[in-house]
Amino acid sequence: MFLDANFIRDISQDQVSDAIEESYRKIVSIKGVQKVVMLATSFPKSPAALGKDHEGEFDILEEKLYQNLSRKVDIGYGDYASINTQQIEIKGGTFVPRIDICLEDKFIYKRYRRHDGSYQRCAQNMVLDGRYSPLGTWADEEIKLATDGKHSGRSPSFWIAVRINYYVTKKVEMRSLA
């Protein structure tokens, strides 16, 4: 059984936790329910709104939510693989190249406009950030290629795929070590 909180960045984390815990307690009393998994995402529409223009960090609230809940109830972890679920209105203009990498409970990002280094500078600064740790993934290969300006993709969707690859690998690694 899944308890889906959807996008949780803009609401009280205590309220989300209380609602999931209350629902959990009701659901586990239903005959045949063997496992309950919480689902949520907190990846923002615009990470730069939570940090500086060129770099920053922000909490992975679904991880914090899970850590809080798992101390109280036997709940499984689920998320949206670092995808923002909010409807985004497409407007004219251009995107700012950005590379996002997750740590255990937060994301870090590097973001540089095309005239200021683009993905190459993002990758170079990510590799220099002591918090970044290569996991041996395709995402790491793309970041490495980008440091030399030889990355395989230039679109935001390509770099979202890089983020997802790194994120999923990191989360699987975290859960398998627990």
pLDDT at 177: 72
Comparing CA positions, the residue from 35, 164, 34, 36 lying closest to residue 99 is 164
Q: Which residue has the tokens 């949206």?
A: 80
- pLDDT tens per residue, range 51-108: 999 999 999 999 999 999 999 999 999 999 998 877 666 666 678 999 999 999 999 9
Q: Rounded distance, CA 174 to CA 178, Å?
A: 6
pLDDT at 86: 72
Q: How far is CA 24 from the centre of its chain?
A: 24
pLDDT at 94: 76
Burial 13-49 (b: 16+ CB within 10 A, else e): eeebbeebbeebeeeeeeeeeeebebbbbbbbeebbe
Sheet of strand 106-111, all strands in order from the earlier edge strand to the far edge: 55-59, 106-111, 98-102
